[in-house]
Structure 1
Amino acid sequence: MSFPPIPSLPLSVTDQMGRRVAVPFPPQRIVSLVPSQTELLFDLGLGERVVGVTKFCIHPVEARQKAAVIGGTKNFHLEEIDALNPDLIIGNKEENYQEGIEQLAAKYPVWMSDISTLPDALDMIRRVGLITGRKPQADALADNIQTTLGQMPASEEQISAAYFIWRKPYMVAASGTFIDDLLQRAGFRNVFGQLGRYPEISAEQLQAAAPQQILLSSEPYPFSEKHLAEFQQLCPQATIRIVDGELFSWYGCRLQHTAAYLRELTIR
């Protein structure tokens, strides 16, 4: 004898933007609008429930093979999301766009993260675990990240640094960003820390700031070895290096590997 499926019970939660969201518990059809949170869902063993991801959700490799690709982080294909009939959508304040989120929230439970510090990221991991029925796994993951990354020894002497995320125009990560928080934990002093978020800067501003190190992120702009000479000419005394942007800005399970990477950067 077959029985009808048991309907999901609603779980009323508050997301990181202070919005109340009623989430069917546990959710069975999840759309993730954020690459690092997609990776987190798979890491928590929820891959079979993830039905939609963005074109930028490159980790794990099977994410875009198993789930439908519903556009980018800034341009959702709303009709494709409708076809998936999600019972939970997970987004992020910075990485997604307000108009699209509002349109989705009018139809579906949309849980939003808002992350600018390591404690924010750990809180997100724990809350995503709670609303998806993976609380023990998420708590263990957050505890591990807190142990390795949250307790990095303070550096005796900070290294002045500039962290570039874009070229033409030059753009850097400044105060109020998750990247800036990690830079400080690693022992770097952000020479543009007096500016807000992701400002455009000129070559003259960079030269005046005279950082000891210039860190060129592998994403969102794909900096590579061919760009080293450009920055070396601007700041001949600086050490220029390409850094793994995912380990600086993906705020999910990838943070398990960030502490070791940051230590390597500061001792070389």
Structure 2
Amino acid sequence: MSIRTLTALLALSLGSALATQYPLTVTDDLGRRVTLNSEPKRIVAMLPSHTETLVALGVGNHLVGIDRFSNYPREVTDKIPKVGSGFQPNIEAIVALKPDLVLADESASSRLTEKLEKAGLTVYGGTAQTYNEVFEKISTIGKLVNREPQALNLITSLRRDLNEVQNLVRGAPKVSVYYEVDPSGYTAGPNSFIGSLLDKAGGRNVIPANLGDFPKISPELVVSASPSVIINAKAEDVAKRPGWNTIAAVKNGKVYQPTSEEIDALSRPGPRLAVALRVLAKLLHPERF
């Protein structure tokens, strides 16, 4: 038997071993037991990270609806109906698409999962908040849509790409950094997926971990911490804030606004995690690139 034949047989065997068995019941992030009786063929994704994961797993053709923020990859997302967002969903439009699975946010404030469940739809509510949860969610989604081998391959390649970037900044001195989620004061704590990326990129997050994963903080905290780098803010806007002109990053011209595509990668805990890490590493340690 040739090596090529043996490899093909092993791949076939692995695929069969990892094939999802239906009916399948999983527990989502809301503690709900979600049951699928068969492989879903009509899927609605209400978060960009879910959309990107499904496309990366090779089931983009099963998407019949996506949230209005899903825009990557455009050759897929431009062709799919938009059905609002997690906080402003078009429930009637979602129901009219007759999905056999909806992937939604677990946020209690959006109440999307509850609304769709009342409409008789099968809904999985859950997103990654931490670095390790990114891989867990890819694995879970792969299981839900009968693409476990593809999920394993995606996780393996993603970890490889992440390791390559980490190797580029290994040994570099840590740079104090503040990551701004939005100008109202929301930021990323050290234990969030963004916080973990900052650490792996050679940064030292100035936000205390005990404030949570995505806390709203007072401007005075950033002023007193005086980070060397500020990411995801406009230099001219930051300089106008009371006291911020004393911050090291502002004084030294190290306030960076990534491109819109880079921000999308940074804010979506999914297949583009390594892209996000490279963006951060290049901003914190440009000398290594």
- Which residue does 1:187 correspond to in 2? 202
Q: Distance in 1 between matches of 2:45 and 2:283?
A: 31
The partner residue of 1:86 within 71, 74, 99 is 99
- Which residue does 2:70 correspond to in 1? 57
Q: 1:97 to 1:54 in 2, by over 3 A?
A: farther
> How is 1:235-254 mapped onto 2 (pairs within 5 angstroms)?
235=247, 236-238=250-252, 239-243=254-258, 244-254=262-272
User: Helix, strand or coil for the counterpart of 1:115?
Assistant: coil
Could you state the TM-score of these two structures normalised by the residue count of structure 1?
Answer: 0.83
Q: Distance in 2 between matches of 1:25 and 1:101?
A: 20
> Which residue identity does 2:197 align to in structure 1?
L
> Which residue identity does 2:198 align to in structure 1?
L
The partner residue of 2:41 within 19, 28, 35 is 28
Q: Distance in 1 between matches of 2:240 and 2:50?
A: 34
1:27-79 deviation line (CA, Å, top 9, x unaligned): 01100010121122122221221011111111122444332211112111111
The partner residue of 1:146 within 132, 155, 159 is 159
> Which residue identity does 2:114 align to in structure 1?
E
Whether 2:244 is the aligned partner of 1:227: answer no
Identify unmatched segments of 5+ residues in structure 1: 1-7, 217-222
Return the offset for 1:144. 1.1
- Which residue does 2:273 correspond to in 1? 255
Q: How many residues align?
A: 253
Identify unmatched segments of 5+ residues in structure 2: 1-20
Contact 2:188–2:213 (8 Å) recurs in 1: yes
> Which residue identity does 2:151 align to in structure 1?
A
User: Helix, strand or coil for the counterpart of 1:52?
Assistant: strand
Moved more, 155-164 or 135-144: 155-164
1:207-266 deviation line (CA, Å, top 9, x unaligned): 2111111112xxxxxx45653644773524452112332232211111242343333223
Whether 2:174 is the aligned partner of 1:161: answer no
Q: Distance in 1 between matches of 2:189 and 2:69?
A: 23
Q: Distance in 1 between matches of 2:174 and 2:235?
A: 25
Return the offset for 1:157. 2.8
Q: Distance in 2 between matches of 1:48 and 1:135?
A: 17
Structure with the larger helix share:
2
- Which residue does 1:219 correspond to in 2? none
1:154-194 deviation line (CA, Å, top 9, x unaligned): 54532111111112x33322244221121122221111124
For the aligned residues, what is the CA RMSD?
2.5
The partner residue of 1:211 within 208, 227, 231 is 227
- Which residue does 2:129 correspond to in 1? 116
Q: Which entry has the higher C-alpha Rg, 1 or 2?
A: 2
- Which residue does 1:102 correspond to in 2? 114
Q: Distance in 1 between matches of 2:228 and 2:282?
A: 16
